[in-house]
Structure formats: C-alpha cells, structure tokens
Copies of this chain bind each other. A is one copy, B any other.
C-alpha cells in the first residue's frame, strides 16, 4: 500500500482495453468513410470478420450504429453497410470568451443541434458562472426538445477558453483572463451540470472542430492556426490533439517575434499584430461589441488603407509563422481558422502568398500547404462540444491503458 519512494511507469492493459479500442476503431472507421460493411470493416481494421460482427452487433444494440439497405456490388452475397447513428450520442460545448459565452449541442456526427449565447458580465467568474450554468441548462432543454432521449446519451461537457492555463497571470493583462484562470472551473461545471467536463484552450477547440467536421477530417498531422481575439494553434499530431506537459501547447500568439521594420531588439508577442484584438485596436473597434464580426466583415468587404496596412503587417509575420510551423512539425497541411470573417481570412491568406519556401515543398503533397478552415465565431464552441465526443469515441493510446486505482505510486 504505502510505497514511499516514487515509482514511475506507464500502465498496462487488459482485454477490456482491447475491446474498448476496437469499438473506437470501428466508430472511427465509420466516421471517416461514411458507411462500411462488416467485411470492409474487417479489412480496414485488420480484425477478423467474426470480431467485427460481434462488435457491430454490440454497437447496434447500443444505438451507435445502424444498418442500411444491402447493396449488390458484383459477385458474392450483397453486403450490408453500416453507418453511425447521429442520435447515438450528444455533447455540450461551452465557450468562455472575454465578453461573451456560447453553448452548442452536437450529436455523434458533429451536427449542431442547439446554440446559446450570452454576454459575460464584467465581474468575472463570481457572477459569470451563474450565467454560464443557466445557458447550459437552456441548451440542454433545447436539445431535449429536438431529441427526447438526448439526456441519457449525453457523454460530456467540453469547455474552451483562452489560455494559457496555470501560468503566473498578470492581473492587468487583457490577453489573459486572469480571474478565470484561478477559478476552479472544471469542478464548478461538473458539480453544476452533473456531466464529465473537459477543458481546452480556444485554439485546441478550433482544431478539434476542424478534425471532426472540418478541413482536418481524417488528417493525422495538421496544424490549425486559430486566428481569434488572440492567436493560437491547435496541434493534431498522430491523429490526436497534442496538449503539452501543462495543456498549453500551441500558444503561438505569445511567441516573441519581430514586426516588419522593427529592429532586432524589439521583439513583441506575435498576437499583438496578428489577431482580432490588434485589429480592433487599429480600427478603433470595441471588442465587446456584439456585432464585432459583422463590422469586421464589412470593413473587409471594402478595405481602407489602415486595414490594408494591418493585413500587410499581420501577413508578414504569419507567413514566417507558417514556415516555422511547417519546419517544426512537418504536417500534411496548415489550416487557418478562427473567429474571423471569411472575407478577412481570404484577404489575409492572399496577402500571405506566396508562402515562404520550406520542407513542405514536396512533390508528393496530397493537401495544400495552407488552407482556410472554419471562419465562424462559433467554431470554438463547436470544437468544445466535439471534445467529449472525441474523448469518448476516438481511438487513442490512453483509452487502452488501465487507469490507476487510486494512490499506488
């Protein structure tokens, strides 16, 4: 019982882990391919037909997959394709931003079924938590109205807010939401909702959304640059979101870089030029304006000199950032996404062309070096909602391993 000295080790696994993994693999294969027959699943997963049959039977009984009409495809018995049942699972996503909070309900295939939005009072968590819990309640009621048994199939609540987490916060830094950083958010939400709660930063959430239903669908190595109020990156490595040692991986907005024309001692955080926040500052827009998105959209539709200068400065550094990320990660693609209007995203990416030369210049490329993903203020909330789905159903190493009972080592 009482091991005084620290024992370090990874945990082992057992048949339960095997079975759980194979179920997840099956669901993943159906998600990626839309529909597959048992025989196709067996070939795709390297499992035997019999094993696939058993697992599919289980999943069907659990209401996660359903059969479609048999299809004749040549010689041999016609195959019966299976697909995911959208109503097989639901999750709630919560975005906490500086001035606003949003909720989303999604189903197993990532479709959005309900949304909610509210302004966040300036008081920080003390008053904000009440608003948030009410908004979640409302979204659950809306979801239940659409899908009566959704409450029984709710797999969790995913929260997303700007990072970084756990870092010495400068209380006056508007980039950090200092008050929220020191608040026991996970515990409060878990107690207030009765759900399993996960937390990611907003860039990670955006990447989760891209992976489930966006440009990174089925891509195992992708960097999602999240261009929002701040700047971040969601790292999809080996098909999983990478979180780093403290959940702060990808906070690229805090990289100290040199503005165009500055001298080499004047390094400043990248997001001071490349972010919606910097744009607001330049265009004298109020970040708390509920129609900020619309105003930026309008400005992008008919860009003035100030905006063009901002784009030039941001693109200059973003071009370097993309080159650096490609060089560091060797991804299949880089995706620009976030809460910026599509028009602005287009202007920005156009200004970033041509991209700087990098190891991403390969003859065998399958995907473009840079593409635009979700440009939608709801992207983070969608990704937040996708996180519990991913956590519950995606194949991942940690899902195979036994969990340590309690104390031990």
Contact = CB atoms under 8 A, between A and B. Distances in A.
B323 A249 contact: no
Given A47-B402, A164-B359, A264-B260, A33 B18 contact: no
Closest CB pairs A-B (n = 3): A244-B330, A9-B29, A9-B44
A167 interface: yes
A242 B238 contact: yes
B403 A46 contact: yes
B327 A3 contact: no
Contacts of A308: none
Interface string A227-253: 000000101011100111111111110
Interface stretch (A20-28, A82-90, A98-106, A206-214): A20-28
Main secondary structure of the interface of A (DSSP, over half): loop
Contact of A14 (B18, B255, B261): B18
A362 B165 CA distance: 10
26 contacts: A9-B45, A10-B25, A10-B395, A11-B47, A12-B45, A13-B21, A43-B409, A46-B401, A46-B402, A46-B405, A46-B408, A47-B402, A164-B359, A167-B362, A168-B362, A233-B328, A243-B330, A244-B330, A244-B331, A246-B359, A248-B330, A249-B329, A258-B258, A258-B264, A267-B356, A397-B397
B168 A251 contact: no
Contact of A251 (B18, B221, B243, B327): B327
A12 B8 contact: no
A181 to B, nearest CB: 12
A7 interface: yes
Given A14-B51, A15-B15, A259-B264, 12 more contacts: A8-B33, A8-B218, A10-B395, A12-B25, A46-B402, A167-B359, A243-B330, A251-B327, A252-B328, A254-B358, A256-B323, A397-B400
